Structure 1
Amino acid sequence: MYFTALLARTDDGWEASDTELDDVESLDELAELARASSPDDETVLVCIEQEGAWFGLVRVDGEDDPRVFVSDAARAMRSAYGEILLTDELLGREPDDQDVLDQLVDLDGTEDGIGDEDEGDDEPAGPDAVPRGPLGDADILADLGIEAGTVLKLAPDDALSEIADALGCADVLEAVR
């Protein structure tokens, strides 16, 4: 089960809205969706949580390139939403390497990202393997008072709630849950 929300910083504090990402196919489209939610080019955080498996954050500040953090890249790669966040640039590989992407996606139709590790499957090997664990910009929230070390230690089950609490908008986020 997924939870997705946009947190937009305004002059009056943070505003939250739940959002569907079913029609979003790329990080660029996700960034445009975030920008559309903040007419004043303020900071927008796209929050994605897959229950018990991983969470991801995308930060959009005006027209700047989006900044991305994913708590567990290997689990996120087996998710349709995770695939949006895990760009070739973030993974450090050439954009034309689509065969590797096809190999990493769970082809059995499940997107829960849970179970494969528990069944003793080996991690994908080689230079194009998606790492287990965090990937991206852990300093994504540093200027908002949440240091990289804190972001790296957040558990997927309550990460978004803890982030919202630290930002002072827990009630706003919970209202859209």
Structure 2
Amino acid sequence: MYFAALLARTEDGWEASDTELDDVETLADLADLAREASPDEDTVLVLIEQEGGWFGVVRVDGEEDPRIYVSDAAAAARSSYGEILLTDELLGRDPGADGPDLDALDLDGTEDGEPGDDEPDAAADTSSADVPHGPVGDPGVLDDLGVSEKELRSMTEDALMEIAESLGASEVLETVR
């Protein structure tokens, strides 16, 4: 089960809103969604979690590039929401390098390289083959907000609530959960 919320910092504290990510296809779309939540260009956090699997934090400060932290890249790579966060840059890959290596595939001569009925789809696993197990991104994404790199890396089960508590936003996050 997934949960996603926006936390926008305002003059009066943090405001939370539940968010649907069904129409979000790229990190740029997600950053635009976050920017819409704060017309004053204040800090906005996008918090995403898959229960028991992984969590991600995307921080958008005005027009700056988003800063991202993902707790377990390999787990997130198996999720459509996680794939939004796992950019080539975040994973240290050359853009476009995530396609299948046709020389390494055992193509059986079927048209357009499609696997035969009894063959597994060899291309399906190639994009996640170079995704590390464990955290990726900027572990200092919340340092100035009171969540240290060490604390962020040690969070597991209820990470989003722990982050919200550290920010003083647990009540507003709970209302949208």
- Report the TM-score, using the length of structure 1 for normalisation: 0.84
Match of 1:15 in 2: 15
Q: 2:125 aligns with which of 98, 103, 106?
A: 103
Instruction: State the one-letter code of the partner of 2:18.
Output: D
d(CA) in 2 for partners of 1:131, 1:146: 24
d(CA) in 2 for partners of 1:4, 1:36: 16
Q: Which has the larger radius of gyration?
A: 2
The answer to whether the Cα contact below 8 Å between 2:98 and 2:126 also exists between their aligned partners in 1 is no
Q: Does 1:146 align with 2:147?
A: yes
The answer to whether the Cα contact below 8 Å between 2:98 and 2:127 also exists between their aligned partners in 1 is no
Identical aligned pairs, as a percentage? Answer: 63
Q: Does 1:37 align with 2:59?
A: no
d(CA) in 1 for partners of 2:10, 2:125: 42
Instruction: State the one-letter code of the partner of 2:138.
Output: D
| Distance apart, 1:145 and its partner CA | 1.0
Instruction: State the one-letter code of the partner of 1:21.
Output: L
Match of 2:112 in 1: none
What are the equivalent positions in structure 2 for 1:81-92 lying under 5 Å apart?
81-92=81-92
Q: Secondary structure at the match of 1:75?
A: helix
Deviation per CA, 1:50-95: give whole Å up to 9, x if none: 0000000000000000000000000000000000000000011111
The answer to whether the Cα contact below 8 Å between 2:44 and 2:59 also exists between their aligned partners in 1 is yes
CA separation of 1:4 and 1:104: change in aligned 2, threshold 3 A: farther
The answer to whether the Cα contact below 8 Å between 2:145 and 2:167 also exists between their aligned partners in 1 is yes
User: Aligned-pair RMSD on alpha carbons?
Assistant: 1.4
- Report the TM-score, using the length of structure 2 for normalisation: 0.84
Structure 1: tracts of 5 or more residues without a match: 107-123
| Distance apart, 1:102 and its partner CA | 4.8
